[in-house]
Amino acid sequence: MAAKQAVQSYYHPVISRTSTAKPIFSLLGNKFPSSPPLFSRASSSFPNRSTVAKCSGDGDKLKDALSGMVGKQVEQLLGREENKALLDELEKASERVEIARRELAEIERQELEAKQVREYVKQLEIRAGEIEECLQEISAAKSMVEEAERSLSAGSQSEASEKDKERIESVKAAGVCALVGTLAGLPVSLTQATSYEQLLLPLAVTFLSCALFGVTFRYVVRRDLDDSHLKTGAIAAFGFVKGLGRLSGGAPLELNPASILSHGIDGAVYVSQSLLVFGFAAVSLDYCFKVGIISPFPLNESPSETNAE
């Protein structure tokens, strides 16, 4: 049917042009009566309204008649057997073209959707890569934090253990010095005391002062065991302080030569006794350092001290 309509639409303008090209007055024949030439020219020059209307009406009827005739001829042509096959092929071709157009439109739509999907997948891959990098950075940072916490914990534990070891070594140094110093000062205390009650206080003072001297001597000398200036300086400092302290606790000083001489002699004796006590304590502690019974300060030798040695 679509092919038949196309053929009819093709032939219809031709019929219209053919029917309208013929002169209208030639088709009217001898519908007008004969008249004289003058009136004939006048009437042909000035037709009345009824004549013009009748001519136009006859032309429309003729046009419709011709159109109907041509349409019948076209239908007859289309109704032939040899033309039906062509029309069927034409309809099938038109259907195939329409199907091809729809498939082409569908393919274009699918290609557009596929392109959009590819772009979206590409964006997702980029974001996935960024997320993966962020996760790796977070994991690296987490491992660094854990490592720092472990090292800090180990450092704090080792530092605490080192401090405990240092305290133990200081206690050992204080004990050695207190014992040796008390034994060294015992003969002097026995000569000055008449009873055990009088002997108790000097021995207690000597014991405590020698213990304090042992801790200080260890921190002063450190690992410079061959430095005699440090050793003698520590002994002199403690000896003078203890001896002069005993002198100030005795009889008051008077402004006469005898009192001044007496205080001078007593001060020298007291200082000498203290130097003797602290000297024995220092020698015993230095021996313990060299033998390895007590470790000097610090326990772990630093690189600067190693280079200095």
> Per the structure block, which two tokens stand in for 41?
């020219």
| pLDDT digit string, tens, across residues 159-170 | 778 888 899 999
C-beta of residue 63 within 8 angstroms of C-beta of residue 16: yes
Q: What is the DSSP letter of 255?
A: S
d(CA 39, CA 48): 13
The separation between CA 200 and the C-alpha centre of its own chain, rounded to angstroms, equals 72
Between 1 and 272, whose confidence is greater? 272
* Residue 272 pLDDT level (bands cut at 50, 70, 90): very high
| φ and ψ at residue 123, rounded to 5 degrees | -60, -40
| pLDDT digit string, tens, across residues 168-191 | 999 999 999 999 999 998 888 888
pLDDT at residue 170, as a whole number: 93
d(CA 242, CA 156): 39
**Is residue 6 predicted with pLDDT exceeding 90?**
no
Helix, strand, coil tally for the chain in percent (to 5): 85, 0, 15
**Is residue 309 predicted with pLDDT exceeding 80?**
no
| φ and ψ at residue 224, rounded to 5 degrees | -85, 70
Choose the weakest-confidence range: 109-118, 141-150, 245-254, 265-274. Answer: 245-254
Beta-carbon contacts of 77 under 8 Å, excluding residues fewer than 6 positions away, are 7, 83
DSSP assignment of 269-288: HHHHHHHHHHHHHHHHHHHH
| pLDDT digit string, tens, across residues 287-305 | 999 898 998 888 776 544 4
d(CA 120, CA 300): 63
pLDDT at residue 302, as a whole number: 55
The number of beta carbons lying within 10 Å of the beta carbon of residue 152 is: 10
pLDDT at residue 247, as a whole number: 81
Quick one: which of 17, 10, 4, 1 has its CA closest to 75?
A: 4
- Average pLDDT over the chain reads 77
pLDDT at residue 124, as a whole number: 92
| pLDDT digit string, tens, across residues 42-89 | 344 444 544 444 445 566 666 666 666 666 666 766 666 667 777 788
pTM of the model: 0.50
Number of residues in the chain: 309
Residue identified by tokens 């002199």 is 236
* Residue 106 pLDDT level (bands cut at 50, 70, 90): very high
| pLDDT digit string, tens, across residues 15-51 | 444 444 444 334 334 433 444 443 344 344 444 544 4
pLDDT at residue 21, as a whole number: 40
**Is residue 242 predicted with pLDDT exceeding 70?**
yes
Q: In percent, how much of the chain has pLDDT > 90?
A: 32
| pLDDT digit string, tens, across residues 206-218 | 999 999 999 999 9
pLDDT at residue 138, as a whole number: 93
pLDDT at residue 66, as a whole number: 66
Using omega within 30 degrees of 0 as the cis cutoff, is the peptide bond preceding 298 cis? yes
Taking the CA atoms of residue 21, residue 24, residue 25 and residue 26 in that order, the dihedral angle to the nearest 10 degrees is: 50
